[in-house]
Amino acid sequence: MNFILFIINVVFFGFVSILILSVGVVVCTAPMGLFAKLEKPSRFLTAPFIGIAAIYQIYFWGLWSAFCVATIISFTNRPEVTWDWFYWITGFFCCLAPIGWLSQKERQTSQSRTGLRGIEIGTTLYSLIIAGTFIVFAFAPSLMLPPYSWALKSLGLAGQ
């Protein structure tokens, strides 16, 4: 029963995380709409907004990894859980699932080979960030507290 609750928890928050990520990226890049009337806006105008959106995504995917690790720790600390490793393996793949789902949806809307290649590069980069932060936080959970304690505390996961 614990494992089913774990899966429901991670899947539910996975969909919530996709919504939060999408809204955040739109907010970060919305000011670029001011340059829509320009035929080809210069990189000088658009680069700051793209940079802010990239930093937001890196921070967000680290937060998602921290959430997954904290959730795994909270479930595996329960006395009735005997197969800790099963939670860790499943949690790792659940942690990667939102970026895979987003990538698949973006590929469907791609209009060109160049756009498809950009999606693949972005997916690979963000997947590496997710996997790397998951592994770091799994072996050193105290490292997730400085940047993400505000979120983990509000979800009741920081005291694990």
DSSP for 88-105, written as a single string: HHHHHHHHHHHHHHHHHH
CA 145 to CA 142: how far, in whole Å?
Answer: 6
**Stated length of the chain:** 160
So what's the pLDDT on residue 159?
A: 61
Angle at CA 33, nearest 5°, toward 27 and 35? 135
So what's the pLDDT on residue 38?
A: 66
SS3 36: coil
Taking each helix axis from N to C end, the angle separating 84-109 and 113-139, rounded to the nearest 10 degrees, works out to 160
So what's the pLDDT on residue 134?
A: 95
pLDDT along the chain (160 residues), means of 10: 85 88 85 72 78 91 92 88 88 90 82 81 89 94 89 74
CA 22 to CA 119: how far, in whole Å?
Answer: 15
Specify the pTM.
0.84
**Domain range annotation of the chain:** 2-36+43-154
